[in-house]
């Protein structure tokens, strides 16, 4: 029972709604998977200063 309810309880404690939704979309089957997704997504978010997400140009699509 704890394996089923654990990820949901863990995600309900997050104060970042967007991060919670992203993890829910990945459908973690247990608490370990939910925590791994959280750590990975937080690491990705730390690569971008606040407010710059989506504003940088992608060099692969740069006009020549």
The per-residue pLDDT for range 3-47, each reduced to its tens digit, is 667 888 888 888 889 999 999 999 998 999 999 999 999 999 899
More confident residue, 41 or 61: 41
pTM of the full structure: 0.67
The total of structural domains in the chain comes to 1
Is the pLDDT assigned to residue 64 strictly greater than 60? Answer: no
Q: Which domain holds residue 41?
A: 2-46
| Cβ(38)–Cβ(32) below 8 Å | no
Residues 6+ apart with CB under 8 A from 39: none
Residue 13 lies in a domain: yes
Residue 7 lies in a domain: yes
Residue 55 lies in a domain: no
């Amino acid at each position: 029972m704890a394996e089923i309810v654990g990820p949901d309880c863990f995600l309900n404690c997050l104060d970042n709604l967007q991060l919670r939704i992203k993890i829910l979309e990945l459908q973690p089957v247990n608490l370990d998977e939910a925590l791994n997704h959280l750590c990975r997504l937080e690491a990705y978010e730390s690569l971008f200063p606040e407010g710059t997400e989506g504003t940088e140009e992608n060099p692969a699509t740069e006009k020549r």
